[in-house]
Amino acid sequence: MKEQIKSYLNRYVHFNEEEIHTFCDFLSEKKFDKKEFLLKEGQVCHHYFFISSGLIRQFYIDEKGNEKIIQFAIENWWTTNIDSFTNQVPSALNIQALEKTTAYIISKKSLENLFISLPKTERLFRIITEKTLIAHQRRNYFFMKKKSKERYQHLMEHIPEFAQRVPQYMLASYLEITPEYLSEIRKKE
């Protein structure tokens, strides 16, 4: 755990060896099988998850019963349902492992204690939250503004791993296009 966390943390804020050790003490490791849920709609989200290995998706079920995927997350990404986690209210969305996944998890209470023990983690989580907000905003902007082909190209340019690791029908759901149209775009590449 320590080496991965150290290299991740130092991208954003400098932590010395002792601080990294303290940081790791607040995390626990949890393994999820492929298709296992990290969080189900209706449950309160008790953890912030750092994906050590694997791949997860966040999705809603819309009023017609369709899955709407809003996020994929891979190694070295943090994920949670920030509303459910922060406000300790039932989650409106699901988080599910798409591959065998190992996550380092921290509870809300532990995170609050971590902020007190290591105040510079406030900076880290301020930056992580900004990055997540920017990703949400870009996704909304792209989906409002860009044609479906451009959305696909943007995704491929920024996170090409997804195309290899995520089933085609899920990529289509994320891009809000039909699987047939996605397959057509990919054939023309």
- Tell me the two tokens of residue 61: 């079920």
CB of 61 or CB of 184, closer to a copy of itself = 61
Q: Please give the residue ranges that form the binding site for a copy of itself (CB under 8 A).
A: 60-63, 68, 70, 81-83, 86-87, 92-93, 115, 119-120, 122-123, 125-126, 129-130, 132-134, 136-138, 140-141, 144-147
Interatomic CA distance for residues 33 and 49, integer angstroms: 15
**CB neighbours of residue 34 within 10 Å:** 12
* CA-closest candidate to residue 68, choices 78, 79, 57: 57
- The CB-of-136 to a copy of itself minimum distance in angstroms stands at 5
- The CB-of-183 to a copy of itself minimum distance in angstroms stands at 23
Give the CA dihedral 31, 34, 40, 43, nearest 10 degrees. Answer: -20
* CA-closest candidate to residue 53, choices 39, 73, 71: 73
CB of 8 or CB of 52, closer to a copy of itself = 8
CB of 93 or CB of 177, closer to a copy of itself = 93
CB of 36 or CB of 150, closer to a copy of itself = 150
- The CB-of-86 to a copy of itself minimum distance in angstroms stands at 6
